[in-house]
Structure 1
Amino acid sequence: MNQRESTVNLLNQLLSIPSPSGNTSEVITFVEKYLSKYNIQTKRNHKGGLIATILGENKNKHRMLTAHVDTLGAMVKEIKANGRLKLDLIGGFTYNSIEGEYCLIETSNDKKYTGTILMHQTSVHVYKDAGKAERNQTNMEVRIDAKVTNADEVRALGIEVGDFVSFDPRTEITSTGFIKSRHLDDKASVAILLELIKEISVENITIPYTTHFLISNNEEIGYGGNSNIPPETVEYVAVDMGAIGDGQSTDEYTVSICVKDASGPYHLQLRNHFVKLAKEHEIEYKLDIYPYYGSDASAAIRSGHDIIHGLIGPGIDSSHAYERTHMTSIENTRKLLYHYIQSEMVD
């Protein structure tokens, strides 16, 4: 299996595991077991994230790289009288982006039920305003794949308020190299980091600085990477999606280097270091500003850590909806990280 096939296979496995923020133990266990095959030292933090550490030649100055395995999702807000569920969203996305999506309801006693997220007024044969009604919490509901017609019958299944609802990723890999799926934000980056860790281990690569890899599990709600940062850490790099849209330079084929997001500018010297490495190693990249965006690195800065922070990642189209990227973007991101962790720190 070549590196591209290995990355796609790993990404497929990650995407198949439901992991909305707040319910990530299964996917963290998967990552933990994956890293154990390569004798990588790991530990869980109290929030449930996973930290892997590879010792470097310099143990006084550390690096930290992070990618988040938690995804957008929802919780059961209310069991409606008609036997359907009202949702409360987890993460920043719009209701119209999940209309018609298949979903999974996980109960507190480990039962699982499938369903579909629909407008209450879906049938055009019944509701005159089916196309015009607002897509919001009031009008959208989950149709459970079970014979239920009222709230009591739903509760008899074990479904209650607070149960997690995850969205079907609908992953597809095209012959032209595109990856279409929900939750490429940020499981594409997690797959890249895991493959990088594997490469360091298998090829017995010596890195100049002790490096920690945080697989965070609360990024979508703002605080995944703001703690458990060793005091020796000097450089902290979030590996997360590059946002694509009008006015953006990021695309689906290059590595996106963020210069600024909603939290403010990222560290100039580290950004320039990424650009220098990209040019030296003929890695295709784009510089960009993400206007409505925050990362684990910006969360770490906000929480008071004295670090140099950066943000890079693959370009992801239609972020927080049905997303898409291309293998070349993943490969360019991996190459930049590969050379970065073997480089000297910025001044």
Structure 2
Amino acid sequence: MTIHIDETYLTRQLKTLLSIPSPTGYTDEIVHYCSGELERLGLQPELTRRGAIRAIRQGSRRQGARAMVSHLDTLGAQVKAVNENGRLELVPIGHWSARFAEGARVTIFSGTGSFRGTILPLKASGHTFNEEVDTLPVGWPHVELRIDAVTASRAETLSLGIDIGDIVAVDPSPEFLENGFINSRHLDDKAGVAITLAAIEALERAGAVTPVDTHWLFTIAEEVGVGASSILTHDVASMLTIDNGTTAPGQNSSEFGVTIAMADQSGPFDYHLTKKLVDLCRSEGIPFQKDIFRYYRSDSASAIEAGHDVRTALATFGIDASHGYERIHASALTAVARLVATFAISRVEITRDAREISGVEGFTHQPTEEASNPPPADPA
């Protein structure tokens, strides 16, 4: 069965998701939106206390379920101090460079309401500081947030209701080009959420039957390392994470097709699950490449570190300038969505995984035989 992805739906969802600020710690509104869309698609979302979402699409069997996970939270910042000049010192939410914060338009969420502002270097005016603008070091101690409100002192800023700990959301500034390129902040991982919703929409539209239950998971704290640590149930045997791949010099990722991660900083992904994804790409004609990410972790890592004994894999859409002003291509989003949907309906091959603990019978093997090495052809 071939699953058709509605690219218009995928793009529309991505635009909507990008319009909802959701830095880690401030995700309630995007949780409401995503839950509503899941209900519209016919699923019943369940929420943890803090708002991670689980929506189970029933299959032919409950045990040995598959999970598909993407994360709703994004990078952002938090007010560290209110300076004497009325401007704000910041610390990052998640791991990203202040180099990409300089010049960003933002929203500050205070206890009294939201305020707009701009993150600027401490020495922002060339007319005042001349070449010191270019020699100022890069880093969070060297930027400040200028608030678009009448304030020139710490007391005036505090009187507005802005205080230490307030969350700062960075504008995504998206641009969707006719040639398929998409430029925006926070494509990590709102593009992954859009992919997930598009895969669900395609399965529902096709009335597809899956061999086991599919747990569609949306986490809310991946950018700070928590991710899927507390959303999995004991029924889940394998988990596919949908997130960004790091397209950059020295990497094999691409902005086109699926990039299947073989390992990240937490170690190799499951041999058999990863091989299955590769085989599905080949059999379905989905363009793909493999890569290894040295300075990268995802929802898969948080699940394993929390003690969940599940097979994990990572399918990514290649992003240029990850955790900065990012760029992807729409064709990659469609390719990943096709793989996610195809995996959902594919046959379960390791049936013993339906039980958490069992004997050695049916346990997997990995190839160890020496590969054949045909002799070179005779020269012409």
Into which bin does the TM-score normalised by the smaller protein fall?
Answer: over 0.9
Q: Which residue of 1 aligns with 2:307?
A: 304
Q: Which residue of 2 aligns with 1:179?
A: 182
108, 111, 117: which one pairs with 2:111? Answer: 108
Q: Which residue of 2 aligns with 1:10?
A: 13
59, 66, 86: which one pairs with 1:63? Answer: 66
- Structure 2 residue 93 is matched with structure 1 residue 90: yes
CA distance in 2, matches of 1:295, 1:345: 24
* Superposed CA RMSD: 1.1
Q: Which stretch shows the higher mean deviation, 250-259 or 192-201?
A: 192-201
Q: Which residue of 1 aligns with 2:373?
A: none
285, 290, 305: which one pairs with 1:287? Answer: 290
Length-normalised TM-score, structure 1: 0.97
Q: Which residue of 2 aligns with 1:136?
A: 139
CA distance in 1, matches of 2:41, 2:307: 34
Whose Rg is larger?
A: 2
Deviations 1:12-32 (A, max 9, x none): 000011100011000000001
CA distance in 1, matches of 2:334, 2:203: 16
Q: Which residue of 1 aligns with 2:369?
A: none
Deviations 1:75-115 (A, max 9, x none): 11111111111101100111011110101101123x11110
Q: Which residue of 1 aligns with 2:126?
A: 124
194, 199, 212: which one pairs with 1:196? Answer: 199
Unmatched segments (≥5 aa) in structure 2: 351-380
CA distance in 1, matches of 2:293, 2:180: 25
Unmatched segments (≥5 aa) in structure 1: none
Aligned residues: 345
Length-normalised TM-score, structure 2: 0.89
Q: Which residue of 1 aligns with 2:273?
A: 270
| Partner secondary structure for residue 297 of structure 2 | coil
CA distance in 2, matches of 1:228, 1:123: 48
CA distance in 2, matches of 1:346, 1:222: 31
CA distance in 2, matches of 1:216, 1:202: 25
CA distance in 2, matches of 1:65, 1:47: 19
CA distance in 2, matches of 1:80, 1:255: 46
Deviations 1:281-317 (A, max 9, x none): 1000010001100010111111111111100121111
| Partner secondary structure for residue 334 of structure 1 | helix
Percent of aligned pairs sharing the same letter: 34
